Amino acid sequence: MSGQLFWKVALNRHPFRSAPDIVPVLVQPPMLLGCVLFAVATIVWFYALSRYDLSRVYPLQSLAYVMGAIAGMIFFKETISTWQWLGMLFIIGGAVLVAKP
Q: What single string gives the DSSP state of each residue in 65-86?
A: HHHHHHHHHHHH-----HHHHH
In this structure, the answer to whether residues 2 and 47 fall within a common structural domain is yes
Q: Total structural domains in the chain? A: 2
Global pTM exceeds 0.85: no
In this structure, the answer to whether residues 67 and 94 fall within a common structural domain is yes
Per-residue model confidence as pLDDT tens digits over 50-101: 999 998 888 888 999 999 999 999 999 999 999 999 999 999 999 989 887 7
Q: Residue 25 belongs to what domain range?
A: 1-51
In this structure, the answer to whether residues 25 and 69 fall within a common structural domain is no
Mean pLDDT of the region 22-50: 94
In this structure, the answer to whether residues 40 and 70 fall within a common structural domain is no
